[in-house]
Amino acid sequence: IILASKTLNIKFAIRSISAIALLSFVVHFVEYPTVTDDKLLISVFGGFFLGLGIGMSMRGGSVIDGTEVLAIFLSKKLSLTIGDVLLLINLLIFSVGAYILSVETALYAILTYLAAAKTVDFVVDGVEEYVGVTIISEKHQDLRTMIIKNLRRACTIYAGKGGYGTNGESYDKDIIYTVVTRLELARLQTEIDKIDKRAFIIMGIVKDLKGGMIKRKPLKQ
């Protein structure tokens, strides 16, 4: 809780205390029916709902576990996703659990948190996952206009030179770089095909970004 107040703010810490207290109350007093005895199903779907709860809590500006505060803190320092840090922390815990309890129990626990980590990343980041797109085309001017006017996205132009050519010849060309969301990627590819089907396109996931026209939605504080 002290780390939460220093990492984010005191309101985040207070909401976290309330969330943890409410979770403890519900777990203690509310009885849940046994849906299945299959350990694999319990691990996968239990991890999914666990990650859903953790992600929604973070989106609302709180946490339900101390390790989540540490995950938020370390994700800012290490440039990793919250889900990845959460998984790494729990892997260390499960390693001790494998020694004290059993390897089988630890493996099921790891499977649970694999599902939880991916769900947390999806809930926290959602469809705001960004893709960096590099476009090399002779029709770079038309493509630049399309990105700015049709997609309403900014782009950066690099001055480049082709490295492949007959008799060692190379030609100057502008290289376009832009960042779009996953939902916009299909539309961007369609628009590029309309202008230049032979355009060379390089795409890569953007783990984090700051500034510019695109702003990632922060955790509520």
The pair of structure tokens assigned to 166 is 């007959």
Which residues is 198 bridged to in the sheet? none
196 torsion bin: left (phi>0), alpha (psi -120 to 50), beta (else):
beta
Two tokens, residue 22: 């409410």
Q: For the chain, give the percent of residues with pLDDT over 70.
A: 83
* DSSP state for residue 131 in the 8-state scheme: E
Both tokens of residue 126?
């959602």
Taking only the tens place, the pLDDT of each residue in 162-191 is 776 666 566 778 899 999 887 788 899 999
CATH of domain 129-206: 3.30.70.120
What are the b/e assignments for 147-159, b being 16+ CB within 10 Å? Answer: beeeeebebeeee
Residue with tokens 């494998």: 98
> Domain ranges in the chain?
2-126, 129-206
Q: Look at the block and give the residue holding tokens 């493996």.
A: 107
From 173, 175, 184, select the one nearest 213 (Cα to Cα): 184
Query: Using one digit for the tens of pLDDT, what is the confidence trace for 31-50?
Result: 878 888 898 999 999 999 98
Pairing of strands 172-181, 155-161: antiparallel
pLDDT band for position 58 (cuts 50, 70, 90): confident
Please give the pLDDT value at position 188: 93
* DSSP label at residue 171: -
